Amino acid sequence: MAHCHGSNIKIDLPEHGRKIVLAGNPNVGKSVFFNALTGMYVDVSNYPGTTLDISYGRLGEDLVIDTPGVYGISSFNDEERIARDVILSADIVINVVDAVHLERDLFLTQQIIDTGVPVIVALNMIDDAQKQGLKVDADLLEHLLGVPVMETVAIKGKGLDQVKNNINKARSGIISHPELQKMLTKMKARVASQGEALLILEGDPIISGRHGLQPAKHREEIYLMRRERVNDLVGHVISEIKEGTDFKTKLGRWMITPVTGIPILFGMLYLMYQVIGVFVAQTVVGITEETIMVGMYEPFMQSLVSKFVDLESWLGYMLAGEFGVLTMTVTYVLGLLMPLVVGFYFFLSAFEDSGYLPRLAALTDRMLSLVGLNGRAIIPIILGFGCVTLATVVTRLLGSVRERRIAIFLLALAIPCSAQLGVIAGMLAGLGGIYLTLYVIVIFSVMAIVGTLLNRFMPGKSSDLLIDLPPLRIPRIENVIKKTVTKSFAFLKEATPLFALGAFLISVMNLTGLLAALQNFLAPITVGWLNLPKDASTAFVMGIVRRDFGAAGLTDLAMDPLSTIVALITITLFVPCIAAILVLFKERNKKEAAIMWFGSLTIAFLIGGIVNKLTGMFANETTGIWFTILVFLGTIGLTSLLTRIRNNTNVKTVSQEG
């Protein structure tokens, strides 16, 4: 029963077939090997309990499995856990290493060798190493590691056949240290598998748990032995290190240092705005949502449903009515969300593949650390402007529960998703620059103040940034497209049932009069406290269905510019759409999700009201607006000052970041 790892991936293995596993650090070119080995027939399946997919395909009788890029195998994050399980179940491992970064890459190589599995090493990007003045002695490396080493330049197709033809020559290599060999032999007597013995010795809680053993406490000892051995190997096989910085290294630094990094970031954001905000959100969605879904699909579905059920009945209403599961959900997911999610994932994949993403994390780390997050949180924040539901799911990559809570709440509260952003931008465009400034400053301030307070008062500690900055390179289009497709598909598959459930709940709320009751409840607050027309509360409630419905509901109301801004601020901060709420319930617990929901409802009306009162304090509207802007900026300063004074007494402890 202890050897059931890997069995949670449902793959049929032919009787004589072997499991050939591709492993390596992130961005070393594994996928090129995978494609070259398996050809066109590739399957992708979700790894249970994660958002990650693994690809597998056939090579003759054998099965080739790809693994996520990792720096080592352990239980530090989902990627590592998957790589660990797949590698432990392998018959042969093809380890792809980046010849330029052998000090980093050979750590994983040596760890895989220590598991005892037969290995063959592809020494990839050997041309890059030469260009950078490195000479790598592959024969000596082969001799020292005790496993075959093949030089390759995967993207140019060089050496791929050689690796393919030599898979059978893979063999078990030389263990890091004789001392480790002794420890392994002893542990192997208890668990039968050398790979599992190694992981138990390295203190892996999951593998130890599978054997009913306590994790051993030798990780650091073994890691240091391995590091020493790798440094020694590198010292022997690499020569002629020529110092000097090329253009790519310089560009990489410009991306990190604020003076140049911030303009580069704005350049990227502008590009994203042009592609996603203008082209996808307007042109593409115009066709997919309006023309195809609303114009053709919905009438078709309604006439189809009407053949079986009366559309006026409650069942007909739920299936094909205003918020119908078969009408609104499908239109929303396929017509609106899909193009946007694909657009966002395309940029994210390109940033990832080019090496820009970790540099962006380094650039934004300082600002995000003020709200208890680290630079890695920039990924869900960027995605949040696409779809808050998507971003909430993606917060899984953050290092601790505390960071996830902060990020999820800030996303739910202050990040307008692309659907809503489109409507808001349209309404702001008609007003003057001063109103736009007020809107941006207020939303930004709320995010900063709430984040700072959460960071100050939430128990626990957030993790610090510790990331590898891979070399910059031009993103490979086939890689970017593959990632975009698999990630978008995985998200839509996960989110569609939630959108359907959301639509169902909204229909029920509407039929039972709950929606109207909520509207009536909010109406006095809307009129008295926010000084908005009574119908604005309808718009707010519609915002629960779809954020853009809410914002769009405001366009029809006759309001002066200031009221428009108050309404827009309130609807931006107002609770996220029903699908995002359901994800919140799924990702966090009920209590936490409820607190976040009521929290953003309260903050939305509180801030809207404050803006209304502050701007109204002066007879001259412009003075009132500037006064309000100053009050909000002053509050950010005051909050950060106050929390800093109290914080100095606490010594901050550090936790990990993978």
CB of 241 to another protein, least distance (A): 7
Cα separation values, 339 from 26, 140, 490, 549, Å: 27, 51, 14, 18
In the set 134, 170, 320, 412, which binds another protein (CB under 8 A)? 134
CA 360/CA 362 separation, integer angstroms: 5
User: Rounded to the nearest 10 degrees, how much is the dihedral formed by the CA atoms of 445, 450, 456, 460?
Assistant: -130
Which DSSP letter does residue 334 get? I
In the set 69, 252, 416, 624, which binds another protein (CB under 8 A)? 252
365 contacts another protein (rule: CB under 8 A): yes
101 contacts another protein (rule: CB under 8 A): yes
Region of 136-144, 276-284, 359-367, 413-421 interacting with another protein (CB under 8 A): 359-367
465 contacts another protein (rule: CB under 8 A): yes
Stretch 105-124 residues interacting with another protein (CB under 8 A): 107-108
Of 557, 577, 544, nearest to 418 (Cα)? 577
**Tokens for 283?**
């042109």
For residues 469 and 100, the answer to whether their CB atoms sit within 8 Å is no
- In the shown chain, the binding pattern of residues 37 to 76 toward another protein, with x for contact by CB under 8 A and - for none, equals ----------------------------------xx-x-x
CB of 566 to another protein, least distance (A): 35
If you search the block for the tokens 């993103």, which residue do you land on? Answer: 475
Which residue, 431 or 467, is less far from another protein as judged by CB? 467
Stretch 274-333 residues interacting with another protein (CB under 8 A): none
CA 449/CA 637 separation, integer angstroms: 9
Q: Cβ of 598: how many Cβ atoms within 10 Å? A: 11
User: Rounded to the nearest 10 degrees, how much is the dihedral formed by the CA atoms of 199, 200, 206, 212?
Assistant: 150
CB of 11 to another protein, least distance (A): 29
135 contacts another protein (rule: CB under 8 A): no
* DSSP string for 87-151: HHT-SEEEEEEEGGGHHHHHHHHHHHHHTT--EEEEEE-HHHHHHTT-EE-HHHHHHHHTS-EEE
Which residue, 50 or 400, is less far from another protein as judged by CB? 400
Region of 98-106, 315-323, 330-338, 595-603 interacting with another protein (CB under 8 A): 98-106
CA 364/CA 268 separation, integer angstroms: 14
- In the shown chain, the binding pattern of residues 199 to 238 toward another protein, with x for contact by CB under 8 A and - for none, equals --------------------xx--xx-xx--xx-------
In the set 138, 268, 269, 469, which binds another protein (CB under 8 A)? 469
In the set 54, 64, 94, 100, which binds another protein (CB under 8 A)? 100
Which residue, 62 or 657, is less far from another protein as judged by CB? 657
For residues 64 and 91, the answer to whether their CB atoms sit within 8 Å is no
Which residue, 100 or 448, is less far from another protein as judged by CB? 100
State whether residue 416 is helix, strand or coil: coil
For residues 375 and 361, the answer to whether their CB atoms sit within 8 Å is yes
Which residue, 207 or 363, is less far from another protein as judged by CB? 363
How many amino acids of this chain bind another protein (CB under 8 A)? 50
640 contacts another protein (rule: CB under 8 A): no
636 contacts another protein (rule: CB under 8 A): no
Region of 103-111, 117-125, 417-425, 586-594 interacting with another protein (CB under 8 A): 103-111
Cα separation values, 35 from 66, 151, 478, Å: 10, 18, 11
If you search the block for the tokens 């853009």, which residue do you land on? Answer: 548
**Tokens for 34?**
């995978």
* Binding-site ranges for another protein (CB under 8 A): 71-72, 74, 76, 100-101, 103-104, 107-108, 132, 134, 219-220, 223-224, 226-227, 230-231, 241, 252-253, 256-258, 358-359, 361-363, 365-366, 369, 374-375, 464-469, 471, 652-658
